[in-house]
Chain A
Amino acid sequence: MKRMLLLGDEAIAQGALDAGLSGVYAYPGTPSTEITEYIQHSKEAKERKVHSQWSTNEKTAMESALGMSYAGKRSMACMKHVGLNVAADGFVNAGITGANGGLIVVSADDPSMHSSQNEQDSRYYGKFALIPTIEPANQQEAYSAMAYSFDLSEKYGTPVLVRLTTRLAHSRSGVEMQEARGENALRLPENKRQFVLLPAIARKNYDRLVKKQIDFDQESDLSPFNIYCEGSDTSLGIIACGLGYNYLMENYPDGCPHPILKIGQYPIPKQYVRRMFHECARVLVLEEGAPFVEEQLRGILDDNNTIVGRMNGTVPRTGELNPNIVAKSLAIHVTTGSPLEPRVVVPRPPELCNGCPHIDSFVDLNTVLEKFGDGRVFSDIGCYTLGALEPFNAINSCVDMGASITMAKGAADAGLIPSVAVIGDSTFTHSGMTGLLDAIIEDSPITVVIVDNETTGMTGGQPSHARGRLEDIVSGLGVPQQHIRVLEPLKRNHEENVAAIKEELDHPGISVIIQRRECIQTIATTKKEAKKHEA
């Protein structure tokens, strides 16, 4: 069988393709982006016409994937963990409609917040929606999880959540391919009302979903992703979820003396857990992310003696695991090299690129706002969030996709006038348009600066859905023509831009300033590709 060197994300993508995927729907977000990019670049996916275009946001991605499942085909929605918040309405209700063609939702969590605002654990979402969750521990498992999850999805007519974490998503290893299988044919659901969640129907569907929990429990007990490994030293048993298992085994190169329950499928496999608590005096829970399993095991009648893990401080409560943290939790001698020498090593935070248009946009904005004082710029998720750092200190919020506009509106409602929103073009079409409509309806005295670099920059330059239609969208929503200003953020335009921004700040209603200049990274890539075509 063919063997390939793949990132965890790529293993998910190849696994889905080989399992008969007909479409992936996604919005870019670290660490999930490479799943969809792999399918976009796959020759085989192109030949098969597998859908792989980016969606406007995670909610539209989730719903499109559900639509493809409705039509009988295998589909997948991919996102980063906080993207699942955006998709949550469709996601939770998809649990109640159920699936027709196999439906997988992949959520890539980012414990330790390498590129995120929080480290929420998607396993809670799987439990919340009452659907099975698969958590692969390595690249090979990520690959096999896809065919397995599509089968599980079609067997029970349920969506399946696949949970990744950063270190698996972005780590490469050899993966053995399996025989690829064909896609499903178009096939409508047998029950034409399955997807109609009118209360009377939803209640029936929900009863069915609740009844399926017994099946899901059984599947967990029999799952190849849940393994009980015998061990002679039963003074301690170890429950290791996902990557926690790898770090555990790293510390026992000659084999672990304690019984291990390796968990890769939820609901938690109850029979194995009972067996472990029957056999072992104490149980250590190692999980990447929140104490999801530990909390359920402890309940509220916990004796605080038998179970150890993140909740009693044996493992740090927050942040990702690593081999050393796991070693400490097992009281294994921890190796370390020479400590970091602060005299010769200083932090090197990320920064805007040389020549980045956002730099000029922030310089323009800071000049205008100088006379109003600090604290009135609400911003959003993207490269421009780096405007919070030195030397700009230009923004005062970054909460979730689209929050800049709505928070500026709320602050203006409270009397903070002028209030300014700074949002990127791709973030604007992702989740800014609806908030802008709120501000238009009330003609709120806010100034929305769309820093339009004509791409989705932070995640690597994916095409922006706003490209070529930003003025039309803004004006179509109802911003008056004379208060839509298009500027070019360049040093030589500084005076002119400052004057324009000042005029709009003085305007006592809604205005939108588009600071448009293409990302220097995508310009470089476009040039390179053009050169390649010439050659």
Chain B
Amino acid sequence: MKRDIILAGVGGQGILTIATVIGYAVVQSGLQLKQAEVHGMSQRGGDVQSHLRIADKEIFSDLIPEGKADLIISVEPMEALRYTSFLAPDGWIISNKKPFSNVMNYPDYEKVWRTIDDYPRSVLIDGDTIARDVANAKAMNIVVLGAASRHVGLPVNDLEKAIAAIFERKGAVIVDANLRAFRAGRAFAETHKHASTSG
């Protein structure tokens, strides 16, 4: 078993929380993990990414080779497209829909969405709206994780347990909100375009 996942977003959008949840679930299940993060200068409103590698045997490289990622999980649509050179031919893109437009020359939104949509294995999800509807605005990243959860290579139960463990110190209300966010994201991906073509 092997899963190579690129997590993408803009500094401050919460991709490291997604990494922490998956990481927790991986460690509990006894699989191997390597997860390279970006710290420092680029965190200030710049593009950030994390390489997350899961396998049942020794993982050597901390970085995913180009063309080998099984999955890109992005909390921002343009950032999802920044890493397509890493995506394997049969890899999936799961991206949040709402652009984070802090640059003057941010491309046309429709064009960005269409480009993601053109990937045969892709899900574009309005994580912000869903998060507000079922939980709170902050849970957008967990909605996106929910939408990606079928491709992470871990039992859904393990991911839910990880969410409960990671948010435990914030109290039961926050745990429940994030579980709702996760399930709503997962339900969306199951009922929307492209997602039905693969298991």
Contact = CB atoms under 8 A, between A and B. Distances in A.
Given A337-B87, A348-B46, A348-B102, A167 B41 contact: no
Given A114-B42, A339-B85, A344-B115, A170 B33 contact: no
A335 B38 contact: no
Describe B's contact surface by its main secondary structure: mixed
A346 B45 contact: no
B84 to A, nearest CB: 5
B33 A322 contact: no
A344 B85 CA distance: 14
A335 B67 contact: yes
B84 A350 contact: no
A173 B35 CA distance: 7
Given A323-B63, A327-B65, A350 B78 contact: no
A11 to B, nearest CB: 12
Contacts of A483: none
Interface in A225-261: 243, 245-251
Contacts of A51: none
A353 interface: yes
B111 A322 contact: no
Contacts of B41: 30, 114-115, 350, 458
A324 B66 contact: yes
A337 B91 contact: yes
A34 B87 CA distance: 30
Contact of B46 (A251, A334, A351): A351
A168 B36 CA distance: 8
A341 B105 contact: no
A134 B130 CA distance: 50
B112 interface: yes
Contacts of A33: 39
B161 interface: no
Interface centre among B69, B82, B88, B111 (most CB of A within 10 A): B82
Contacts of B62: 167-168, 171, 173, 243, 246
Interface residues of B, number: 51
Contact of B85 (A248, A249, A340): A340
Chain A interface: which size bin?
35 or more
Given A115-B42, A170-B37, A350-B42, A247 B66 contact: no
Given A247-B61, A323-B61, A338 B84 contact: yes
Nearest to B85: A337
A172 B78 contact: no
B87 A338 contact: yes
A132 B175 CA distance: 49
Contacts of B64: 323
B105 to A, nearest CB: 5
A336 interface: yes
B156 interface: no
A349 B41 CA distance: 10
A341 B33 contact: no
A101 interface: no
Interface centre among A172, A335, A340 (most CB of B within 10 A): A172
A338 B66 CA distance: 10
A323 B175 CA distance: 38
Contacts of A30: 39-41
A174 interface: yes
A337 B103 contact: no
Contact of A5 (B10, B33, B46, B65): B33
Interface centre among B35, B61, B68, B91 (most CB of A within 10 A): B61
Interface in A458-492: 458-460
Nearest to A352: B44
Contact of A323 (B11, B65, B91, B107): B65
Interface in A142-180: 167-168, 170-174
B173 to A, nearest CB: 13
A337 B69 contact: yes
A344 B78 contact: yes
Interface in A358-392: 383, 386
Contacts, number: 156
B129 interface: no
Contacts of A335: 65-68, 88
Given A344-B107, A345-B81, A337 B46 contact: no
Interface centre among A5, A334, A353 (most CB of B within 10 A): A5
Contacts of B194: none
B66 A337 contact: yes
A345 B82 CA distance: 6
A343 B102 CA distance: 17
A427 to B, nearest CB: 14
Interface string B78-111: 1101101111110100000000001101110001
Contacts of A386: 44
B138 interface: no
A350 B44 contact: yes
A31 interface: yes
A346 B105 contact: yes
B34 interface: yes
B66 A334 contact: yes
A351 B63 CA distance: 26
Given A172-B23, A341-B115, A247 B60 contact: yes
Interface in B8-64: 10-11, 23, 27, 32-47, 51, 59-64
Interface string A307-330: 000000000000000111001000
Contacts of A174: 27, 32-33
Nearest to A80: B40
B29 to A, nearest CB: 12
Contacts of A350: 11, 41-46
A351 B40 contact: no
B61 A346 contact: no
A115 B11 CA distance: 14
A250 B68 CA distance: 11
Contact of A351 (B45, B59, B89, B105): B45
A345 B40 contact: no
Given A249-B61, A322-B61, A335-B88, 8 more contacts: A5-B33, A114-B41, A171-B34, A171-B62, A335-B68, A343-B107, A346-B103, A349-B103
14 contacts: A34-B39, A167-B63, A170-B39, A172-B35, A173-B33, A322-B65, A335-B65, A335-B66, A336-B85, A337-B91, A341-B115, A344-B107, A348-B45, A348-B102
Interface of B: 10-11, 23, 27, 32-47, 51, 59-69, 78-79, 81-82, 84-89, 91, 102-103, 105-107, 111-112, 115
The 5 closest A-B CB pairs, nearest first, are A335-B67, A30-B40, A115-B40, A350-B46, A323-B65
